[in-house]
Structure 1
């Protein structure tokens, strides 16, 4: 396997990982930030207060972005399967 192919594959894997993680992590970050500001303003320092809203937002984001995430993962997997003959042929 050529070093260029390994680097390209690694870069593509990282891109897909970021694309799949972002729709879940960004809403959780925003909700956590809003709840943190609310806690700072009201001086309510309850650690479990932010868990349920974050969980609800992540579930909602997964329901909304889930089909797109599945399609992205499926297309990347098919892309990898199409590279297998190339990899076997280069040995």
Structure 2
């Protein structure tokens, strides 16, 4: 396996991680911003108010996006397995 192939696999692996993690991170960010805005508008300064909605939103996002994540990850793993079988 050449150095270019290794770098291509590493680059593709980083993109796979970004694509898989993006839905969860975006939902967590949006829920956090909405709750922070709500806290600022109502002057509620409760630090634990953020955690339960964020955890629930992330859990629901994971449940809904797991098939998508699995398909992306299995495709990447299949390409790696094919490269291993063919010797590079």
TM-score between the two structures when normalised by the length of structure 2: 0.91
Supply the distance in 1 between the matched residues of 2:16 and 2:48 (Cα, whole angstroms): 32
Q: Specify the alignment match of 2:12 in structure 1.
A: 12
Unaligned runs of 5+ in 2: none
- How many residue pairs were aligned? 87
TM-score between the two structures when normalised by the length of structure 1: 0.88
Q: Specify the alignment match of 1:75 in structure 2.
A: 75
Pairing 1:22–2:8 present: no
Supply the distance in 2 between the matched residues of 1:45 and 1:7 (Cα, whole angstroms): 47
* Superposition deviation, residue 86 in structure 1: 2.1
* Superposition deviation, residue 64 in structure 1: 1.1
Supply the distance in 1 between the matched residues of 2:22 and 2:12 (Cα, whole angstroms): 15
Supply the distance in 2 between the matched residues of 1:31 and 1:83 (Cα, whole angstroms): 41
Q: Which consecutive aligned stretches of 4+ in structure 1 deviate over 4 angstroms post-superposition?
A: none
Q: Which has the higher contact order (CA 8 A, sep 6+)?
A: 2
Aligned CA RMSD, in angstroms, stands at 1.1
Q: Specify the alignment match of 1:60 in structure 2.
A: 60
Supply the distance in 1 between the matched residues of 2:74 and 2:66 (Cα, whole angstroms): 12
